[in-house]
Amino acid sequence: MTLKLKDKSLIVSQAFINGDWVDADSGETLDVTNPATGAWVSKVSKCGTAETRRMIEAASVAQKSWAKTTVKERAALLRRWFNLIMENQEDLAQILTAEQGKPLAESRGEIAYGANYVEWFSEESKRVYGDIIPQPSNDKRVMVIKQPVGVVACITPWNFPNAMLTRKIAPAIAAGCAVVCKPANATPLSALALMVLAERAGFPPGLVNILTGRTAEIGAELTSNPLVRKVTFTGSTPVGKQLMAECAATVKRTSMELGGNAPFIVFDDADIDSAVQGAMISKYRNAGQTCVCSNRILVQSSVSEEFTAKFTEAVKTLVVGNGDQEGVTVGPLIDEKAAVGVCEFIDDAVAKGAMVTIGGGMSSRGGCFVEPTILVNVSRDMRVFSEEIFGPVAPILTFESEDEAIEMANDTEFGLAAYFYSRDIGRVYRVAEQLEYGIVGINEGVISNEMAPFGGVKESGSGREGSKYGMDDYMDIKYMCVGGIDK
Ligand code: SIN
């Protein structure tokens, strides 16, 4: 497949280690294919343990010098990277759609979304404040400063191959850390293109490094090497738990942005048209492949008929197809295994009594395409209630009372995002405060932005990305006690 890029040098196959573009030691490569067509897009290096170790050692050396830079220097470097990302937005979006499948409009949006984290943290780097604390006795003074944690390993998923990386790298660099990155093998090209731009922006050798290849080997080295002081990961809860267990041996800090099972609650006093709009975006963005996608739509019985009818009409307007085609709003899933898995959720629900109002299975396009689907008559014994669907399927359950809605919403081990629609101000506070989630969208289906803290509770993870809290995860607190002050 030939991509029509203005700047073809954004497509690279090699790993970026210590400022050099290098092949895997073995010379082996992995293929990257387009999920919409199955066509070959490019290849990348199949690196392993030895390359990972070299990358970590390079980062460790670079970090020591970087920690001595002024915050203005860090801000300027990140700003140059931000400018380059936005100047190359169209090419980066084309690469993203080719390897990930999402519609081009969404890819353009993701590039801007990812760049916003770089811009935000270039600004936030200047606002890292310490504290002066009242002294316990007059011969002492007590101060608190924040210092970079050191080398940070960033492990990123295929659903947002650009933004999940920038929102880890940018705060790390702003804090004075160096990074070693491992993007998902399904979508490495977007991450490598970001490194091309980082090199152009003038990142010193070793400060940002990336490799692709043998996931298990690379992951094991990242989590066991004592030079890595922090691992930040976005992905599934089972993998997050495994990484946390591996990190325990060297007591690394971790930030985990893991799975979700977002409830989307529609109360009887909601503006139904606006709830439908919110459900459309929060469910079908990226073909339902986001951790914050609505997973269970909970509707008060008195408005369920109206909501379902309007939601079904809205879903009819979605256009499934290849993300590079004009007008397409739902692209393929990442691979055929994912598409089959999502259809199994539908089959399980239907076998247990659910009914399909629209969609219902694999799209006639076949391959990785699944029809946008709505299920009604859904109950808690169905897999769609308790598991993360990660596809374009919206199960609707009904409830009678506010308490029941909250109980159903919290009946999960996950706690990333929740949404609800209500115009009753008292209910807005009551419900928002009782939902056991890190993020709550109230009369709003779009909740992600760089200025807000993104992250979950319970088994959805720990740590926050973006916002004024976002750099805390990349810094250690040091307390200094100065004695001998009294004469
Ligand atoms: C995710 O799916 O992990 C991220 C979604 C977002 O940033 O909105």
Buried b / exposed e along 17-31 (16+ C-beta atoms within 10 A): bbeeebebeeeebbe
pLDDT of residue 1: 64
Single-letter amino acid code for the residue at 475: M
Pairing of strands 262-266, 417-421: parallel
Identify which of 117, 164, 286 to mutate to test ligand 1's pocket (most ligand atoms within 8 A of the CB): 164
The ligand 1 atom nearest the CA atom of 289? 2
The CB of 300 under 6 Å from ligand 1? The reply is no
**Structure token digits, residue 77:** 């470097």
Q: Are 214 and 186 in contact (CB under 8 A)?
A: no
For residue 80, count other CB atoms closer than 10 A to its CB.
18
Chain Cα centroid distance, residue 42: 24
- The set of residues, in sequence order, having a beta carbon less than 8 Å from that of 348 and lying 6+ positions away, is 382, 383, 384
With both helix axes pointing from N to C terminus, report the angle between 89-100 and 104-124 in degrees, rounded to the nearest 10: 120
Determine the distance separating the centroid of ligand 1 and the alpha carbon of 233, expressed in angstroms: 12
Tell me 351's DSSP state.
H
Give the pTM. 0.97
- Which one, of 303, 310, 284, lies nearest residue 295 by Cα? 284
The CB of 117 under 6 Å from ligand 1? The reply is no
pLDDT of residue 2: 72
Task: Name the strand (E) or helix (H) holding 107.
Answer: helix 104-124
The CB of 125 under 6 Å from ligand 1? The reply is no
Task: Name the strand (E) or helix (H) holding 294.
Answer: strand 294-300
How buried is 457 (Cβ within 10 angstroms: 0-12 exposed, 13-18 middle, 19+ buried)? Answer: middle
pLDDT of residue 426: 98
Single-letter amino acid code for the residue at 252: K
Residues tagged active-site = 257, 291
The CB of 116 under 6 Å from ligand 1? The reply is no
For residue 404, count other CB atoms closer than 10 A to its CB.
13
The CB of 159 under 6 Å from ligand 1? The reply is yes
The CB of 320 under 6 Å from ligand 1? The reply is no
User: Which residues sit opposite 147 in a β-bridge?
Assistant: 476
pLDDT of residue 218: 98
Nearest CA to ligand 1 atom 6: 448
Query: Per-residue confidence of the chain (487 residues) as pLDDT tens digits?
Result: 678 899 999 999 999 999 999 999 999 999 999 999 999 999 999 999 999 999 999 999 999 999 999 999 999 999 999 999 999 999 999 999 999 999 999 999 999 999 999 999 999 999 999 999 999 999 999 999 999 999 999 999 999 999 999 999 999 999 999 999 999 999 999 999 999 999 999 999 999 999 999 999 999 999 999 999 999 999 999 999 999 999 999 999 999 999 999 999 999 999 999 999 999 999 999 999 999 999 999 999 999 999 999 999 999 999 999 999 999 999 999 999 999 999 999 999 999 999 999 999 999 999 999 999 999 999 999 999 999 999 999 999 999 999 999 999 999 999 999 999 999 999 999 999 999 999 999 999 999 999 999 999 999 999 999 999 999 999 999 999 999 998 7
The CB of 160 under 6 Å from ligand 1? The reply is yes
The CB of 460 under 6 Å from ligand 1? The reply is no
Tell me 32's DSSP state.
E
Vertex 404: Cα angle to 400 and 405 (nearest 5): 90
Identify which of 155, 390, 416, 454 to mutate to test ligand 1's pocket (most ligand atoms within 8 A of the CB): 454
Determine the distance separating the centroid of ligand 1 and the alpha carbon of 290, expressed in angstroms: 5
Identify which of 292, 414, 419, 439 to mutate to test ligand 1's pocket (most ligand atoms within 8 A of the CB): 292
pLDDT of residue 444: 98
User: Which residues sit opposite 139 in a β-bridge?
Assistant: none
Q: In sequence order, what DSSP letters do the residues of 376-417 get, joined into one string?
A: ES--TTSHHHHS---SSEEEEEEESSHHHHHHHHH-SS--SE
